[in-house]
Amino acid sequence: MFKKILIANRGEIALRIVRACREMSIRSVAVHSVVDADSLHVKFADEAICIGPAPAQESYLSTAAIISAAEVSGADAIHPGYGFLAENAAFAETCANCNIAFIGPPPALMRLLGDKISARLRMAESRVPILPGSGRLESATDAIARAERIGFPVMLKAAAGGGGRGMKIVNDAESLPASYELARAEALAGFGSGDLYAEKYLPSPRHIEVQMVADAYGQVVALSDRECSIQRRHQKILEEGPAAVLTDEARATLFSLCERACRDLGYQNVGTFEFLFDRGNFYFMEVNPRIQVEHTVTEMVTGLDLIREQILVAAGVPLSSPFARRPRPRGHAIEARIVAEDPETFAPSPGRISALHLPGGFGVRVDTHVYEGYAVPPDYDSLLAKLVVHAEDRPHAIARLRGALEEFVVEGIATNLALHRRIVRDADFCSGQLDTHFLERFAA
């Protein structure tokens, strides 16, 4: 087992990993930028090392700084969390070359799945349904020809994409060249690659994902499903599980698809398979080869610690007995992402938190790195906290979430708490009438 793990991340996920290390009697090393010196993950880790100034490129995205911190501290493993370097195959290879374990899938697998075009092709080989689409687009003219074969509307997507960047809906050939250039510029700026592909656009699908775990000995298990249809600009805002729309038969079919694909890939560690669900059909979108923000939903409905299992699998331990078979979900869980944003304009709202009260009670969990007096920096993702509730069924979970949101107080900065309070009282949300455009209709 590892003796010391360096956490190459910040915020709530870094603190979550610190806690898992403590429970496993593993020493933890927090890294932080200058502006994160007072964050809770820094305060509660066994050791802390400053790795640079505020810009992520000079700190949390600096391979040299993080590897140096690992070597200086004597860490024998690095946990990347999510975001930053979590899906960076070159970083994982550097870890291996420095004899430091990377807590995640093998680099070759990350590289394959990091290219959405290659991932689509591999899923098709494993008989996982994919939407009609193209290969790599060579030009706007090429994109028009392929889009006409696919049939409008289409979605242009970044091959190295994520987080909604480099994605454009195109309804006709006339508007495609301008959309192509915009998507290409976004992709190049965001991911260092302007490669695009086209995919058939579904106007009102649901977003369903499956939490997977696999060890180095061929054991692969689909743990649970989650619905993530409430999004803004392809960024998830509220997630829940199990997905109320799925029948037991549809769920079993989906889980079998994912388990077969994982075996075909030789997948290891945790990962999430994401799908669009439309008129009873599943269509593969992507694999996220890391822990997800919303892993807490799965933890609440299964009672299983995903961060702990990640560490064990990376250390070469076979899946522990609770993970070695599909668990039956226990009740329903919902996660609301609380972010430092204006609820109307969605503009970022950094600043100092002057007052904070976190909700509690039976079935309520809050994962956060902030506290009263904490200064939210403008340099990173605006996530402040994840409010997760668990109850015996969806209606009771919604009621519990309403109460918890009313108790949640953040003063000094703007947050999206008011937006969440409106969502959980919306008739369509309460009845489960969801799709990926729910928030657009809701805000209209």
User: Contact, 148 vs 173, CB < 8 A?
Assistant: yes
Q: Locate 121 and state its tokens.
A: 């092709």
Tell me whether residue 251 is one of the annotated catalytic residues.
no
Mean pLDDT, to the nearest integer, of 67-89? 97
User: Strand, helix or coil at 253?
Assistant: helix
Give the dihedral sign, CA 212/368/65/28.
negative
Give per-residue pLDDT as tens, 217-264. 999 999 999 999 999 888 899 999 999 999 999 999 999 999 999 999
> What contacts 387, CB < 8 A, 6 or more positions away?
335, 336, 338, 359, 364, 365, 366, 401, 404, 405, 408, 420
Q: Locate 228 and state its tokens.
A: 């993530």
Binning pLDDT at 50, 70 and 90, where does residue 366 land? very high
What pLDDT score does 444 carry? 60
Give the dihedral sign, CA 338/340/341/347.
negative
Mean pLDDT, to the nearest integer, of 49-53? 98
Q: Give the integer Cα–Cα distance in Å for 258 and 126.
A: 9
Q: Mean pLDDT score of the chain, rounded to an integer?
A: 95
% of the chain with per-residue pLDDT over 90:
92
Question: Cα separations (Å) of 137 from 155, 171, 277?
Answer: 12, 17, 26
Phi, psi of 424 (to 5 degrees): -75, -5
Binning pLDDT at 50, 70 and 90, where does residue 192 land? confident
User: Contact, 289 vs 113, CB < 8 A?
Assistant: yes
Give the dihedral sign, CA 88/90/91/95.
positive
- The yes-or-no verdict on residue 344 having pLDDT over 80 is no
Q: Locate 231 and state its tokens.
A: 């999004």
From 208, 252, 151, select the one nearest 434 (Cα to Cα).
208
What 3 state SS string does 367-388 have?
A: EECCCCCCEECCCCCCEEEEEE
Q: Give the integer Cα–Cα distance in Å for 399 and 385.
A: 20
DSSP codes of every residue in 48-84: EEEEE-SSGGGTTT-HHHHHHHHHHHT-SEEE--SST
Listed by start position, the domains of the chain span 4-103, 132-200, 206-443
Asked if the 206-443 domain carries CATH number 3.40.50.720, the reply is no
Place of tokens 């299992």: 309
Give per-residue pLDDT as tens, 199-216. 999 999 999 999 999 999
Q: What is the side-by-side strand order in the sheet with 220-232?
A: 281-288, 269-278, 206-214, 220-232, 235-241, 332-339, 383-391, 364-368
Asked if the 4-103 domain carries CATH number 2.30.42.10, the reply is no
Q: Give the integer Cα–Cα distance in Å for 59 and 85.
A: 11
Across-strand partners of 226?
A: 209
Question: In angstroms, how far is CA 28 from the centroid of its own chain?
Answer: 23
From 11, 38, 42, 39, select the one nearest 28 (Cα to Cα).
42
What pLDDT score does 320 carry? 84
Binning pLDDT at 50, 70 and 90, where does residue 322 land? confident
So what CATH class is 132-200? alpha beta
- The yes-or-no verdict on residue 162 having pLDDT over 80 is no
Instruction: Give pTM, 2 decimals.
Output: 0.95
Q: Give the integer Cα–Cα distance in Å for 389 and 280.
A: 28
Q: Locate 276 and state its tokens.
A: 């669009």
Give per-residue pLDDT as tens, 254-263. 999 999 999 9
- The yes-or-no verdict on residue 343 having pLDDT over 80 is no
Lowest mean pLDDT among 77-81, 192-196, 399-403: 192-196
What pLDDT score does 394 carry? 98
> What contacts 155, CB < 8 A, 6 or more positions away?
167, 168, 169, 170, 198, 199, 200, 201
Look up residue 412 and give its DSSP letter.
Answer: S
- From 290, 308, 337, 400, active-site residue: 290
Q: What is the side-by-side strand order in the sheet with 154-158?
A: 168-170, 154-158, 196-200
The torsion angle over the Cα atoms of residues 211, 30, 360 and 428, rounded to 10 degrees, is -40
